[in-house]
Amino acid sequence: MNNIFDKKESWGKRKRKSQQDKALVEMVKLGYEKSARVKKMLDDAGINPAEIKSCEDLECLPVTSREKLVEMEQQELPYAGLENPDIPIDRIFTSPGPVYEPHLSETDYLWARAFFAAGIGQKDIALCAFSYHLVAAGLTFHNGLRKVGATVVPSGASSSQIQVQLIKDLKVTAYVGTPSFLKAIIDKSKEMGFEFKKDFLVKKACFAAEPLLPDLRRSFENDYGIDTYQMYGATEVGDVAYECSEKKGWHICEETIVEIVDPATGKNVHNGELGEVVVTRLNNIFFLLRFGTGDLSRLITEDCPCGRTSYRLAGIAGRVGDAVKVRGLFVAPSQLKMLQAKFNNLPLQAVVRRTGHEDVLTLRIEKFSPEIGSTSWEENFKKVFREICTVGINNLEYLRAGEIKPEEKLIVDQRKW
């Protein structure tokens, strides 16, 4: 196939930076000319569009959250005046809010990078079990599957029974949808008397829109022989990142600029620190600069063994509101869950207090086995904690088994401001 997906990335490392900078300069210039909203935003911030010369310069512009976008669109229906009026819009999608999204183009490569990385191609018959009704998911995933040459079964939101029927009759090899729906389909197939792994040919699954929990992933892979991949994006900005076969972080699509910022200030955090994922999709139709996803993640800047040189997102650590900032760094409940998983589901709780001008982080831990609390155990625990949460622990406090109630929060912020 003669398209950009006959190789892993179409731009090399240096070229990526220069192409992104160039595309951003063009987007800002065009946005300023075509959109009164963009012009006002830059004028209000006292910025001449010519001052935006590279991705780093984006930081001086405000972040637009989904809530803000909804508000802006309601003031100026349907796209808040962020669109290019000279270019006809192919399709209009909507998502809860309501927020209206002009689909950039039917000829784009949305999600195709993700499917290519998952090894989906011409030999595949893919079930696209995302809704095609109003929302962007069904049609855009469908398009991406077509771009890598797969045959698509647009099963959408059909019942799990119909999905099982299609998987069986059409010899489906790949599933695209949410993890929970695949689980429901597998359960339904059992009910219908099938043995999913033996009777069907589904060997790959690409998931989005929902977290893929480690237990469920293990079950798909080990119990059902399905190789699983995660994809990440938002309807406002399209595809953002995807997993490769290494499954160690999600490669960022080169058509998007991803910043990891402190949600309070909109400024970029240091490399490797947790912050809000802010996305600018480089395009000439919809000038949504710095869309704040509300998701927390951190950047992995090392090259991946798969050969791709793009930066990666280290999964999604939760939503901005769930995280607590300790000594300037965010700690999210999902990070603590990850930590628990590494220590046999150790019951624990993080408590943040303030002593003088310092944040003090205490980890309360249930001593449910004898080795917990030994010097070597503590050393290892603190090391792993720092690897996962970036920040260090000040105190460890040991409790009896059962003292932390299941309904209690994983992170408790006891600071008074």
Which among 281, 234, 278 has a CA at the least distance from the CA of 260? 278
Please give the single-letter amino acid code of residue 296: L
CA distance 122 to 119: 10
CB 314 → Zn ion: shortest distance, Å?
13
Query: Which whole-number Å values give the CA distances from 102 to 106, 276, 350, in the listed order?
Result: 11, 24, 43
Q: Which one of residues 57, 71, 227, 246 is an interface residue with Zn ion (CB under 5 A)? A: 246
Which of 196, 250 has the CB closer to Zn ion?
250
Binding mask 327-366 for Zn ion (x = CB under 5 A): ----------------------------------------
Q: Say whether residue 227 binds Zn ion (CB under 5 A).
A: no
CB closer to Zn ion out of 147 and 308: 308
Is residue 231 part of the contact set for Zn ion (CB under 5 A)? no
Q: Which of 157, 184, 306, 404 binds Zn ion (CB under 5 A)?
A: 306
Q: How far is the CB of 337 from Zn ion (least distance, A)?
A: 24
Q: Which stretch binds Zn ion (CB under 5 A): 28-36, 118-126, 307-315, 324-332?
A: 307-315
Q: Which stretch binds Zn ion (CB under 5 A): 5-13, 159-167, 241-249, 261-269?
A: 241-249
Q: Which of 31, 308, 323, 332 binds Zn ion (CB under 5 A)?
A: 308
Cis peptide, bond prior to residue 154, ω within 30 of zero? no
DSSP secondary structure string for all residues of 369-416: STTTTSHHHHHHHHHHHHHHHSSPP-EEEEE-TT-S-TTS-SEEE---
Residue number, 129 or 252, with CB nearest to Zn ion: 252
- Given a contact cutoff of 8 angstroms between Cβ atoms, the answer to whether 299 and 313 are in contact is yes
H helix runs in 257-403, sequence order: 333-342, 375-389
Least distance (Å) between residue 241 CB and Zn ion? 11
In 266-381, the DSSP E strands lie at 275-281, 291-297, 299-300, 312-313, 318-319, 324-326, 329-331, 348-355, 358-366
Residue pair 308/251 in contact (Cβ under 8 Å)? The answer is yes
Radius of gyration of the chain (CA): 23
Q: Select 272 or 328, whichever has its Cβ closest to Zn ion.
A: 272
Residue from 110, 244, 296, 361 binding Zn ion (CB under 5 A) = 244
- Taking CB under 5 A as the rule, which mask of x and - marks residues 173-202 in contact with Zn ion? ------------------------------
Pairing between β-strand 395-399 and β-strand 358-366 as defined by DSSP bridges = parallel
Is 114 near Zn ion (CB under 5 A)? Answer: no
Which stretch, 147-155, 226-234, 308-316, 369-377, contacts Zn ion (CB under 5 A)? Answer: 308-316
Partners of 151 in the β-ladder: 125
Closest distance of CB 115 from Zn ion, Å: 15
Candidates 4, 209, 233; CA nearest to 101 is: 233
State yes or no: residue 314 binds Zn ion (CB under 5 A): no
- Output the smallest distance, CB 210 to Zn ion, in A: 22
3-state secondary structure of 304: coil
Stretch that binds Zn ion, among 33-41, 127-135, 142-150, 299-307 (CB under 5 A): 299-307
What is the closest distance, in whole angstroms, from the C-beta atom of residue 243 to Zn ion in the complex? Answer: 8
Find out whether 89 and 105 touch, Cβ atoms under 8 Å: no
Closest separation in Å from C-beta 62 to Zn ion = 33
Q: Which two tokens stand for residue 15?
A: 């070229």
Instruction: For Zn ion, give the closer residue by CB, 280 or 310.
Output: 310
Asked whether position 4 contacts Zn ion by CB under 5 A, the answer is no
Tell me how far, at minimum, the Cβ of 29 lies from Zn ion, in Å.
Answer: 33
Kindly determine how many residues on this chain lie close enough to bind Zn ion according to the rule CB under 5 A: 5
Q: Name the minimum Å distance from CB 308 to Zn ion.
A: 5
User: What gap in Å lies between CA 12 and CA 310, rounded to an integer?
Assistant: 9
Closer Cβ to Zn ion, 99 or 244, answer by number: 244
Look at residue 335 and give its three-state secondary structure: helix
Near Zn ion by CB under 5 A: residue from 304, 324, 365, 388: 304
Q: Report the DSSP pairing between strands 358-366 and 348-355.
A: antiparallel
Residues that bind Zn ion (CB under 5 A): 244, 246, 304, 306, 308
